[in-house]
Structure 1
Amino acid sequence: MGNMMRAASARDKVNTDNHDSSQKGLEDDIVVVLQDYPSREISEPIYRMGEKLRVIAQEAYWWRVRSIQTGNENYIPNSHVAKVYHGWLFEGVERQKAEELLLLPVNRVGSFLVRESSRERGLYSLSVKHRIIKHYRIFRLDNSWYYISPRLTFQCLEDMINHYSDFADGLCCALTTPCLSGTPPPPDVNPGAPPVVMRHNFDWRKVDRRQLVSTALESDNMVSYGVRNSMAAYLSFSEDAAHMGAESRKKKSKSVYGFPERRLTNFDLDDDF
């Protein structure tokens, strides 16, 4: 298997290290909120899901933290947060929670995180935001090198992230930014619905025909000249059709249901009737 070590000249990449212990760097005091605390059913949350916090003190179940975004300092249960290393390695985050975090608006296509299994240390998966959230199992060889595809092996996770940040190379897309590292988008500015100008309510079937066919350009006319003429033509056609229909029904009524002018008395009917 080929060794795909990245060039050390990539200044914007993290420095590589050959030891797993390096994955726990100087950022071991950064955590991410996994769920609103307290719950919205209880009160307005102090910390919200996806918010990054700096740990000030760890006191058994309760950790004292300070929000990086707002500076708000308070306590939070350690079950509501996950430690983050290098900005992209999330400790003990399950698949579903990884999807929830990546679907937050702050993330864009290519945002990613590497999550360490909560059941067994040293087992990792890569989760990437694309059209959907894609997950890739990261395998580890006996010599402690890592790979997603057997044709590409990496001496450490940093090398893997650096490589897939430059090339998709079989992934759904190239990696762009670590999960939750972007700037939240500004709130949508809703210009509101266009204004509706209400004019006089009317039933056009009851409009005076003289108003419809008028050629004068009165400012208070309810409809335009072209529409008025169209309506007038329709009314004229409708009335003519209605008149013809009435005449037809009248004739039909006389031919089918008409009785002789002489009055029938005592059921004086011919046998041929």
Structure 2
Amino acid sequence: MNVPILLWVLSSRGADMVRGTRNIADGREPQAVSTSQRILLVEGSRFFANQVKKQIEAATGTQIVVAPTLAAAGKAIEAERGRGGFALALFDIILPDAAETEVVDLCREKGLPSVVFTGFYSDELRERLTSSRTVIDYIIKDNPASLTMLRQAVTRIWRNRTTKALAVDDSATARRYLVDLMKLYQFQTLEAANGKQALDILHQHPDIKLVVTDYRMPVMDGIDMVKQMRATHPKDRLAVIGIATGGGSSLSAQFIKIGANDFITKPFLREEFFCRINQNMEII
């Protein structure tokens, strides 16, 4: 069923163009981010573009470059390469010179993290967007507060660019997946293969703000790790999210009682993962 509402979708650039990931326990800092990158806004309505430009510039302190069409957006992206490329794109999915999702394809092709907005929404469109490896989140704009929600979402992503996050899992495949999700959300990412390595990394990087950890791991499991982390990092300084396959409510309760902020059961939707991170990072 088609619903006439406005959708904002946040997506992120390919893995080769996002925040770097530090190798396990090697002591190096994650790759630094550029503080001079600008944001691209693609919007045919001058009035709406001015409203978005004003709010996002005030929230992020960065310059917004406005393009009214898909063609103008393509030219702006190419021209911006000399400055290191745009950090983020905000654009209307319906443009005078573009078919539906064509602008999404352009930004995905260019590896550009994006916020998409449209006056047309359907379950099919949502499925297409959220199944894309570059989509972070979406915001439905159906009331006057939606622009505020957009500003908050972009501000959160902008803040993540200078925020360290740690993925902890003994499975290299599972850990890689967590790291990729954190990169999509623009975090500076670090990783560890067990609780002991995670504690060592936290000691080296006491400014880490987010830890996502598995439960069952050799050397030290997630429960014991969280207990020790809480001795030096309270909940308002470090958000810890436990994850595990199975275990049910009892494991979730155990994680939270010993100090975790939240718990997610595998397998989980990326949409749920980002929502949980967003909610827990709000208190940090």
- TM-score exceeds 0.5: no
Question: Which structure carries more relative contact order (alpha carbon 8 Å, separation 6+)?
Answer: 2
Give the TM-score, by structure 1 length: 0.27
Structure showing greater radius of gyration is: 1
**TM-score, normalised by the number of residues in structure 2:** 0.26
